[in-house]
Chain A
Amino acid sequence: MIVTGERERLRAIVRRDVAILRTYQLKVYVSFAQSIGFVVSFYFIGRFVGEPDALADLDGGYFEFALLGVIVTSVIALALREFADNIATEQRGGTLEAVLVTPTPFWTLLVGGATVSVLITTVEVLLLVGLGFGVLGVTPSVGALLWSVPLLALTFVCFAAVGIAAAAVIVVVKRGDPLAGPVSQLTALVSGAYYPVSVLPGWLQPVAELVPATHGLRGMRELTLAGAGPGAMLDDLVVLVLMAAVLVPAGLWAFGRAVRSARRSGTLGTY
């Protein structure tokens, strides 16, 4: 029987990645251990720094502030690198052409290929939230955490669009992704992941408003640390929706162009 939907293909890609991951289990444990170690380091930095004046409006101290930065940064790192890494892995492994001969749309490969990593990162985020807020810091309400989910998801989607554009570059140039690194650095610099945007020079603060993570972080901190209701994050949510509406089509367009270019040059599977 031939099935026409993409659901079975997505499931098959997930089953493939789980099976492959089971042959590299240590990688997952090491990643979790690194994240926990990172958070614990921020816990001690928070104890050292105390409660800075710049964070006077927020509940908790520097640790709770930075914890959200760590979580959002890890989600951004996944979004920026996952798609390009998957394409590069298939190219280097020699499997990309075999996959592309099948009637599988590219978007299925992109989404399916990222699914297992997204699930692992979700577990990692839950672990960090539990450890950070539940054990080491101030506990926000369950409602605040739940309202944070769409902000985090939209932040992921915006950066995933950039990640897909990065994958487009890899399809053509094979190595040397020029997007993920600079975007990641710019985001860490201006989005307020580890310090408030207000400490940036005045001319740099408008740049922060152009970075999706700034809005995701601001909204999440309003909810979880300032005790504000969902209405307080509405502006940031709308901005993220608009950014996603621009970035996602742009990323997919770039990817489509890159695949076409590689098909014309016969270099889809080369690396």
Chain B
Amino acid sequence: MLEVEGLHHTYAPHRGLLRHLVRSATEQPVAALTDVSLTVGAGEIVGLLGANGAGKTTLIKAITTLLEPDAGTIRLDGRPVRADDPLVRREIGLVQPDDRSHYWRLTGRRNLEFFGSLAGLGRDEAARRADEQLRRRGLADRDKLVFGYSSGMRAQLALARALLHDPRLVVLDEPTRSLDPVAAGEVCDDLRGLADEGRAVLLASHRLDEVTELCDRVVLLADGVVTWSGPTAGLGTDAERLRASVVRRVAGPDR
């Protein structure tokens, strides 16, 4: 379903006049992704593990068309993933870690209806699916402006938004970061359910337990390079050895 092949991206500082007008995040070129390849099949959950700055979010941005990589290809069901192809973008659902990604002056329901319409749903269908997602995520009876939501509620709303248009690929960047253990467990169950329905799920997380329990395969990133990928069982089963194994593989050469 999702095939990423030979992805390269370097964050470069601004050049020319722009260099004097806007400060770049970096003064020197930073290789964020180097020859990154991975696949996520239909019905599969692939975990993306890595330390902060390993390149997980850059990779997710590239897969969701928010970033145009320097080189490499991304395909979904054989179709190139490009920003100017609305058909392929329609098949992607993204859960961002930033809970500011909703309109705080709208209710949760209005947020979902709005994003549903942008995703290509008719107004009635967007309203119906918004209602369904709100009930499923325990937000139906708390339909207030989003600025009154807790972090956990906003995380649930982000998941609802990503699933609203029934995408074939669901990409999640730390979806359970703000959730209590019970809600996080429910989300994990939901992700399993999504995969069982035939969707491809790519999950970036810092929670080793979550990734090892939920994911079929794991990709470890360090300094923009895939340091290991394979079935989750390949990481080992003993908790301490597993942790040591992952830490060693995601530490990168400078850590």
Contact = CB atoms under 8 A, between A and B. Distances in A.
Interface string B108-121: 00100111011111
Contacts of A8: 117, 122-123
B182 interface: no
A102 B89 contact: yes
Contact of A3 (B9, B22, B86, B120): B120
A12 B114 contact: yes
B132 to A, nearest CB: 15
Contacts of A101: 64-66, 89, 92, 94
A105 B85 CA distance: 10
Contacts of B143: none
B145 interface: yes
A98 B96 contact: yes
A12 B21 contact: no
B104 interface: yes
A16 B146 CA distance: 13
Given A2-B121, A3-B121, A103 B86 contact: yes
Interface stretch (A59-67, A89-97, A240-248): A89-97
A95 B103 contact: yes
Contacts of B61: 266
Identify the interface centre among B58, B94, B120, B122: most chain A CB within 10 Å of its CB: B120
Contact of B102 (A98, A104, A176, A268): A98
Contact of A9 (B87, B98, B117): B117
Contacts of A267: 25
A103 B89 contact: yes
Nearest to B89: A103
A263 interface: yes
A16 B100 contact: no
Contacts of A104: 86, 118
B66 A172 contact: no
B172 to A, nearest CB: 13
A20 B106 contact: yes
A172 B18 contact: yes
B188 interface: no
A103 B11 contact: no
A11 B123 contact: yes
A1 B122 contact: yes
Contacts of A4: 120
Contacts of A16: 103, 106, 110, 114
A228 interface: no
Contact of A97 (B9, B25, B32, B101): B101
Contacts of A174: 22
Interface in A1-44: 1-4, 8-9, 11-13, 15-16, 19-20, 23-24
A185 interface: no
A267 B13 CA distance: 12
B105 interface: yes
A15 B114 contact: yes
Nearest to B158: A98
A20 B118 contact: no
Given A101-B66, A265-B12, A95 B87 contact: no
Contacts of A269: 66
A47 interface: no
B83 interface: yes
Given A20-B106, A93-B104, A12 B118 contact: yes
Contact of A93 (B87, B94, B103): B103
A16 B113 CA distance: 9
Residue with the greatest number of chain B CB neighbours at <10 A, chosen from A12, A16, A102, A264? A102
Contact of B68 (A11, A12, A99, A263): A263
A29 B1 CA distance: 53
A98 B98 CA distance: 10
A100 interface: yes
A211 to B, nearest CB: 26
B60 to A, nearest CB: 10
Given A1-B125, A2-B121, A263-B68, A97 B22 contact: no
Interface of A: 1-4, 8-9, 11-13, 15-16, 19-20, 23-24, 93-95, 97-105, 172-174, 176, 260, 263-269
**What 9 A-B pairs have minimum CB-CB distances, sorted nearest first?**
A94-B100, A12-B117, A103-B86, A102-B118, A103-B89, A98-B101, A266-B67, A263-B68, A2-B120
Given A9-B117, A173-B18, A264-B67, 12 more contacts: A1-B122, A3-B121, A11-B123, A12-B113, A15-B114, A95-B100, A101-B89, A104-B86, A176-B21, A263-B67, A266-B61, A268-B66
6 contacts: A12-B126, A13-B114, A99-B118, A103-B89, A263-B83, A266-B11
